[in-house]
Every structure is written in structure tokens, then in C-alpha cells.
């Protein structure tokens, strides 16, 4: 139950960010998170309908794209 509340909290936080960004300019907005493997795996588990085989995924909230990208290993 706590995990569900946490996941909803993250979506709520992203929605708040999206709302605030839309008031700055009349423009398309995209946020890119480039994450190390551990953080990427943790992030992708927060979303049910994401293909876990890909190295990136996108969530659209109120017209703002939140793009998660797995940082290439060096």
C-alpha cells in the first residue's frame, strides 16, 4: 500500500511540474532524465504500461513530455 501511495505521489509531483512549466511560455515542453541503470530500473517500475525492454520511455502529462533515458555505460 505504501508503494502505491509513493507511486501516486511521484505522478502527482510530475503533474505539478507540468502545470508550472506550462505557465512560463506558450511552447512545447519536454524534460529528459538521463539515469544510471539502477535509477532507470527504479523509475521504470513506477509505471505499469511501459515496455521494460526499451532503453527509454516517455510519459505525457498535461502536454508535457517526461522522457526517461538509460545512460549509456562507459
* pLDDT averages per 10-residue partition of the chain, 74 residues: 54 90 88 95 85 89 94 85
Q: Which domain holds residue 56?
A: 2-70
Residues 6+ apart with CB under 8 A from 63: 18, 22, 28, 29
How much is the pTM?
Answer: 0.80
What is the C-alpha to C-alpha distance for residues 21 and 28, in angstroms, rounded to an integer?
A: 10
Cβ distance 67 to 56 under 8 Å? yes
Q: How many independent structural domains does the chain possess?
A: 1
Amino acid at each position: 500500500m505504501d508503494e502505491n501511495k509513493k507511486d501516486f505521489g511521484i505522478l502527482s509531483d510530475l503533474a505539478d511540474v507540468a502545470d508550472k512549466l506550462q505557465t512560463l511560455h506558450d511552447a512545447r515542453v519536454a524534460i529528459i532524465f538521463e539515469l544510471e541503470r539502477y535509477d532507470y530500473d527504479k523509475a521504470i517500475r513506477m509505471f505499469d504500461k511501459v515496455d521494460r525492454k526499451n532503453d527509454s520511455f516517455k510519459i505525457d502529462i498535461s502536454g508535457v513530455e517526461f522522457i526517461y533515458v538509460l545512460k549509456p555505460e562507459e
